[in-house]
Structures are given as structure tokens and as C-alpha cells.
Chains A and B, each alone.
Chain A
Amino acid sequence: MSISRARKVTNLTADYNAMELMICLAARCLEDDSTVVVGTGAPCAAAMLAQRTSAPNLMIMFEAGGVGPLLPSMPISVGDSRTFFRGLAAGSMPEIMEACQRGMVDYTFLGGAQIDMYGNVNSTCIGDHTHPRVRFPGSGGANDLASLCWRTMMITPQDRRRFTSRLDFLTTPGYLTGPGAREAAGLPPGTGPYRVITQLAVIGFDPASLRMRVESLHPGVTRQQVSDNTGFELLWAEALGESQPPDPEELRILRQEVDPFRYVIGRA
């Protein structure tokens, strides 16, 4: 690492962007000695950051088969050779999905075009399914991972279009219609959405109603701003806190070690 780059990074630690904040907050949710299946982008960055800070024994897995790589850079695909670079195992998709189904995987991350108050996600289509106005990729592994992993997380932009009261298509299960619904559907007990991290807030789920509940607001963000960017009624934690901003060490690691080419943090 050249001196000029190191100095540049030091100067930048006075400030951070929304993507850096979201990645840091997500990283802190991941407990040490646990397993996580990640995709490309922000979730992968969060897991890599967690390994270098609060969760050194976090085991990263990729749905196409990679287990425990020493990631040399951000993968472009969840099946590219980075996902098992100097890894513990180059497995298979059944290997990873079956580990999830056995209860061996603690965390996973989702993305999507729409999310509702129970954390259900649409990544399939907008409009009628037979003749969609917009076709998205579909479930991929999202439905599997959110059905089977213990805790499901999301890092996502928050706005009224995305945080909607009505999904066009329920691709991936959150808490479905509320308490008891996942179990009634046959999904493994004790699983479900855990945290949704946006550019505005950290959102959890109210244990009684299983609806989205704001846990903390990011520095400078108001309740009104969060409500204005949500298409349904949010619940608020009694002890509504302020999200802890990234500390200089987290930012240094994120910028120098995790994503030096700014593939992810440059997107904010």
C-alpha cells in the first residue's frame, strides 16, 4: 500500500457515505463463530468487514459451493473462483443448500425490488405474472436461504416504492401474514427476517406482531423522513436509539482491505 493512498484514506475518515454506514451496521449484526451465506456486493463486504473486526471466526459461504475462502477481492458472481479462493472447500450448490436445510447456517442476506411490513420480498416481477410489466431475475437462491437460514438480513435502499404495503409477487418468505404463518406454511420453526438496514435506519421486527419496527435512526435522520420513505405503517422501538456511525478503524479496513477498488462503497 503506497503512502499516498494511506494518507488519502486517513483524510476521508472524517466522513463516510451511506453505503459505508450500512455495511458497518450490517457487519456488527453478525456474531462471531457463526456461518453466513452471502451474495455479491454489500452483504459480502459486510461479512468481510465483520471477519476483520468483531467476528474473526465468521464462516463465509456462497450458494454455488464456496466455503471459507480467503477472499482476495469482491466476487462478481456468487459462483466465480474468488468464492473459493484458498477456501476450506469447493463444494456444490446441494452442499450449501443442504447445510442450510440441516440448520447449520445462521445468517443470510437478501435483495429485492419490493419488501412489505413482514419482510416478504419480491424479486420476480411487477404486474401480472403471465405478462409482467417488468421481469426481474426471480428467486435465485433467495427463497431457499430465507426459508432455511436462522436469521435473514437485508441491506437495501428505502423508499415508498420499495417499502410497499402490497407486493406484486411474494418471491421469498418473510413472516408471511404474521405470527404463526411461517410455521403453518411448513417453514422450519425459529427462522425469519432479523434486520433490514437502509440508508435511513436499522429496522428489526416486533416480536409480538412480527411487523417491521425501527430500532435506530442514522445520525441526522428524523422519524418523519423514515415514515415518508415507507409505504406502510412502521412500529417504533420504545428505546429508539441512534445508529452508531462507523469508527475510523472500520472505515480504514473497509476502504483499504475489503473494497480497495470501491466496487461497492463507490456506489453510494
Chain B
Amino acid sequence: MPQSFHPEERSGVGPLFTSPDADQARLFFRQKPRRLTNKLTTARDAVARLVGDGDYLGVGGFGSNRIPTALLHEVVRQGRRQLGLAGHTATHDCQILIAGDCVDRCDVAYVVGLEARGLSRNARRAFEEGRVQVTEWTNAALAWRYRAAAMGVPFLPARIMLGTDTARYSAAREIRCPFTGIRLVALPALFPDVALIHVHRADVYGNCQIEGIMVSDHDLARAARRVIVSTERIIPNEDIRREPTRTAIPYYCVDAVVEIPYGAYPGNMPYEYFSDEEHLQEWLEAEEDPALFAAFVREHIREPADFAAYLERCGGLNRLQELRRLEHFPGKEGDESDR
């Protein structure tokens, strides 16, 4: 029978930013409230109470899709520092946090890029200048690290990263399967201090409904010690009870609920509104010049009193109405016949 942690098996040299200790996590989860209580609050209060300097953050959605933009703006506005970030296809979300100089360490699967839109100059500068400490991973690695934490186990085995520099600069370890002897990568459980997740509907207790792809939010909501949910709308508890099948995140995972319509803007919210590609391009263009970009961040994040003021600045209801149309009539960008 091959031995686990055999000397020939390699370890990644990257720092492990969070403890995979499942017993330590159990002690935390033991004292987490079980009771159905009204958790409705404001973004300002939720971030002030539940996100501290130095915390490690997991962000829901997928970079520019169903992201908790309003909560991320609030983190920047309150000037949080030295946060850790799970860079699980972190695109516009990462761009916002780096713009606020909030992050000093990152588990990287995908950062600094905005997929087909191009690369964030400002985020690149932060990583290239060494202002953000990096451990390399992959999207599946971070997804399964959340899964391990959600399961309450210290690691999960997988068949990725093997033989590459990605593994070498990760904090994973190679092990042998105790049953078949094959070589596997052991992915340490990732328990974020805080998860920020945007959903379609939630009741005041934090029971959440999500439309479209789940990405990794099922696991992220269960892996994180504290969870702040922003929601397009609050629904009565009776609506949750009528269709319990639809509850993606149960209340006992959730610490605060904030109602923020268009809270994922300029990201795409499935079945609600499409991403504002023009505004995302404005971000990329503003980042070309650091001084210009500082003014841009001041104007768009620091100065607006709240997210509604940001939405106003970006074109308000008229623009949002256009994005709703794009979402509901995809592929008809130049076609007026559906109006």
C-alpha cells in the first residue's frame, strides 16, 4: 500500500493564506446563530460590522456576472486594508478592490483580466509591483477548496495542477490515493472570513434564491465564516416556504441581508440586466493613467453617498432599462423591433 505524504511527493512553495483546520472552523460555526432573526440592514452597516481590516474575502458570482458590486464599493468607501482575496475568476470585482488598494494577498486562479474585454492596467501594476502577495491556483482548485470547507473536511483530492508551475507556486501538496495508488493533488479547505454574495431574492432571515448558474456560490456561502448577502429584492418568508426547492443558500449561513436593486451593475444579472460594456470600457480606459484613474475612483466610488448615487452617475434608470432590454433580447443589439 503506497504511503500518503511520501517524500517523493511535492509541496507547493506558495503561502497558505487561510487555515484548513476543520476543527477550528467547527468551533466558529458552533457559535453561529441558529435562530430565524431579521438580518435586514444597510450596506454601510453590514460592511462596518462584518468586514475587518486583514480579513480574507470570497466574492460570489463570476467576475462580471452576479457580482456584489454595491458591497465591494462599500468596502472601498470604508477604506478596508490588507484584505486577502480568493481570485476565483476575479475580474471586475478584483478591479474594484485593487482600485481601493484594499488587497495585499491573493489566491490567484484568474485576476487582472476582464476576459474578452482586455486587461486591467491598474490591477496589473499592483501585481507586477509586488503590492499583492500571490499563491497560484486554478478555478477548479478554488471551487473545490470552497467545497472542502463547505463539507467540513480539511482537504479534497483532485487530478489537476499536477506537473506544472501552477502547482509549484501553489500551497497544494501531492499525495497518493490510499486505495488505488494514483498521484493526486490535495487541495486545502478554504474558509474565508467573509463572503459577499449577490442574489436575486432573499427573505429578511437570509434564505436566498438564485437564478441561472450557481458558479461556486453554493459552496462559498457554506465555507465562509460570515456571509453578507445583497439582493435585488426582499421577498416575504412565505414565498420561500412556498417553494423551498429554490432555496440556494439557507438562512443559517447568512449574517446580513441588504436590499440593493441593480446591486451587480455594471455586471450581468441573469434574467434581469446585461453587463454595461460601455462603462466597463470606461474603467479600462481610465486605468491607463494613474492620476486620471484616482479621480475616476473618487468620482464613481468614494464620493457617491451610496450605490444609488453611483447608478445615477452611470446613466440612471434610462441606462438600466437599456441593459434590461439587452438581457431579455440577446443577439438583437442593433434591432429596434423588440422595443
Contacts and interface: CB of A to CB of B under 8 A. Distances in A.
Interface of A: 39-41, 63-66, 72-73, 76-85, 90-94, 97, 101, 120, 124, 129-144, 147-148, 169-173, 176, 181-182, 184-188, 261, 263
11 contacts: A65-B215, A76-B64, A80-B64, A80-B275, A81-B274, A83-B213, A93-B215, A94-B143, A144-B141, A185-B162, A188-B159
Contacts of B161: 143, 147
Given A73-B333, A261-B334, 11 more contacts: A76-B117, A77-B116, A81-B268, A92-B216, A92-B218, A94-B140, A101-B158, A139-B136, A148-B159, A186-B163, A186-B184
Contacts of A143: 138, 160-161, 164, 166
Nearest to A40: B116
Contacts of A173: 162-164
The 6 A-B pairs at the shortest CB distance, nearest first, are namely A186-B183, A185-B163, A79-B62, A65-B213, A72-B331, A137-B113
A63 B216 CA distance: 11
Interface string B31-48: 000000000000000000
B18 to A, nearest CB: 18
Which of B137, B161, B219, B334 counts the most A-chain CB atoms under 10 A from its CB? B161
B261 interface: no
Interface string B109-127: 1111101110100001001
Given A169-B165, A185-B183, A76 B143 contact: no
Given A73-B333, A171-B166, A186-B183, A136 B138 contact: no
Contacts of A188: 159
Interface residues of B, number: 67
Contact of A140 (B138, B144, B182, B327): B138
Contacts of A176: 163-164
Contacts of A80: 64-65, 268, 274-275
Nearest to A169: B165
B174 interface: yes
- Interface majority SS (helix, strand, loop, mixed), chain B: loop
A135 B124 contact: yes
A84 to B, nearest CB: 6
Contacts of A130: 130
Nearest to A94: B143
A73 B213 contact: no
Contacts of B174: 186
A138 B213 contact: no
Contacts of B154: none
Interface in B255-303: 268, 270-271, 274-275, 277
B7 interface: no
A147 B127 contact: no
Contacts of B141: 144
A55 to B, nearest CB: 21
A1 to B, nearest CB: 11
Nearest to B124: A135
A179 to B, nearest CB: 14
Contact of B213 (A64, A120, A135, A169): A64
Nearest to B331: A72
Contact of A138 (B87, B143, B160, B274): B87
A143 B168 CA distance: 13
Interface string B170-190: 000010000000111100000
